Structures are given as C-alpha cells and as structure tokens.
Amino acid sequence: MSAEPAATVAPAPGATGPRRGRRGARWRSPFTPYLLALPGGLWLAIFFVVPMLVMLSVSLQTGNVVDGFVQTFHFAVYPDAIRQYSDQFIRSFAYGGICTVLCVVLAYPMAYWIAFHGGRRRSTYLFLVLLPFFVSFVIRTVSWKFLLADDGVLLGNLKDIGLLPDDFRVLATSTAVIGGLTYNSFPFMLLPIYVALERMDPKLLEAADDLYAGRAAVFGRVVLPLSMPGVFAGVLLTFVPATSDYVNASILGGTSDTMIGNIIQTTFLTNADYPLASAISFILMVILLVGIFIYARVLGTRDVFEMGTR
C-alpha cells in the first residue's frame, strides 16, 4: 500500500514568518521604550537640566560686572535672599493661589456648559473664548490698564454718573494684579477641564439618571470625579506661571504689589547682580517643585488618572 503524500498547508494571510518573527522580536526589545523616550529626554536635559545647573553655579559666585564673577561657593546668598525678599515670595504665592481658585470657579462652569450644551457649536464657542489670546500677552495686559484707569472708559463714566466716589481706584492695587493674572491664565484652566468633560461617556450620565440620581448627585458622584484630571492639569498650568509672573504686577500693580518675578527682573537686568538673581530664581523653582510634589501626593495623581479612565 503506497503512502499518500502529506498535504501542504499554505500559511494564512498575514501570518508571521521566520523573518518577520525575528523583526518583531527585534522591535520588542526591552530598550525600545528608552529609545522612544530618548529625544524628549535629551530635549529636557539640554534646555532644562543644563540651564538649571548653570544657574545654580552662577548663584554661588561673587563679584561684579566690571571685575567679573568668581566661583566662591557663596551659599550664604540663599538665606540672605529669603530673608530680604520673603514678603515678595509670600505675595507671589498668595496671588498665584487666589488666581488659580478664581480660574477654577470661572472656567469650570463655562467648560461644563460648552461640553454638555454646546452641541455642534462647541468649536465656535471655544474659538470665541480663545480669540482674545491671539493678541500679544503684553498688549492684553496694557488694555486692562486703559480700561481700569481712574478716568478711563469704565471707571470714569461710573464716577461721572455718581455710582463711584471720585477717589475710587483699581489700578496700582492687588485687585488689579489678581484680575490681570486671572484673565491671562483663564484658557490654561478652561481647556484641560473642557477636554476632561468632553471625553466623558454620556452613557454614564444616562445610567445615573436611570438610577434616579438627582443633578447634584450626578455632578458630585460622576461628573466631578471624572473631570479631576482636567482640574489637576489646569491647576498646574495656572498656578506655576501666575506665581512667577512679573508683567501684570509691573503694568497693573503699584510699589506695594511687587512680586518675586519683578525682583528677579530688576536684579538681573537693572542691577546686573547675576548671583542674587540666580539664587532667587533657584529658590522659586525649588519651592514650586516641592509644592507641586506635595499637591500631587495629597491629591493622588494615580487616583486622579484612575478617575479619568473608569
């Protein structure tokens, strides 16, 4: 009896052959994630880590512009800077904190309305919100100065009709500085919150409604927890720039509203005291990094992102 020849099985379309298998194994190398992160890591190292190390080195030097600066590891500049400019540090963090809270209070309802009630015009509404921010940051801040001037378009007319006393003023006060910071930081809070709300599954809201949950319960148990990643990102994007800002305090504030950014600008550009300016900048950066770390630990970044992916 003759044996029947064995049937030849053709490989299925798309099957991985020996060569493709070796290629896939090469791409699944354990070094692949590090290679993908290498360009971003080099970018951060060149434009963040290296300048920070240079700034730290400059802060420990002594000398002047005429005779030059010499590395003497003068660590006493740090306690001296904190003691001399403690009021400006406190004022900057207070202004930044108030600005962040105001941005959350103002941006969250608007982002909620656009995300859930904007319909087909959501892109249009977002464009209208962002339209003023296509203008230069400085020009927008200067426009606030003209608007809030003692005899300007707004206050001048209100004084003329007797709604405000003649000695009422807003410029050169902390209110004007915080208002300018809030206005300029507003989109950095609104956009992350809107993205978190917009990607929310509507079926979750429908399920909560089917379970006879009221609007307050739906917001507190479903909407707010799922939008926390956006709030988390918005707080970081708002608080850090607002705390280190100096433009609003220079244009809208007075001598009693100086922020630490103004001190750094004056010390570096006007007084040419590079070690002191570098020390103040390094102190500000360290305080912000520690504050962000504590904020992330208290709020729990893992819990935040778990809320956003449920």
Does residue 38 sit within a domain?
A: no
Q: Which residues contact 229 (CB under 8 A, 6 or more apart)?
A: 192, 196, 304, 305, 307, 308
Instruction: Tell me how many domains the chain contains.
Output: 1
Query: For the residues 289-295, what does the mean pLDDT come to?
Result: 87
Does residue 131 sit within a domain?
A: yes
pLDDT of the residue at 19: 52
pLDDT of the residue at 207: 84
Highest-scoring range by mean pLDDT, 37-46, 276-285, 294-303: 276-285
Please, which pLDDT band fits residue 274 given cuts at 50, 70 and 90? very high
What is the pTM for the complete model shown?
Answer: 0.83
- What CATH number should be reported for the domain holding residue 144? 1.10.3720.10
Structural domain containing residue 286: 85-308
Query: For the residues 118-146, what does the mean pLDDT come to?
Result: 91
Does residue 51 sit within a domain?
A: no
Nearest alpha-carbon partner for 91 in 202, 253, 229: 253
Does residue 196 sit within a domain?
A: yes
Does residue 255 sit within a domain?
A: yes
Does residue 73 sit within a domain?
A: no
List, as one string, the DSSP characters of 75-125. TTHHHHHHHHSHHHHHHHHHHHHHHHHHHHHHHHHHHHHHHHH-GGGHHHH
Q: What is the pLDDT of residues 65-76, one digit of tens each?
A: 988 999 999 999
Does residue 37 sit within a domain?
A: no
Nearest alpha-carbon partner for 68 in 227, 269, 275: 275
Does residue 292 sit within a domain?
A: yes
Which residue, chain included where needed, has tokens 């433009």?
247
Q: What is the pLDDT of residues 17-64, one digit of tens each?
A: 555 445 545 556 788 888 888 999 999 889 989 999 999 999 999 999
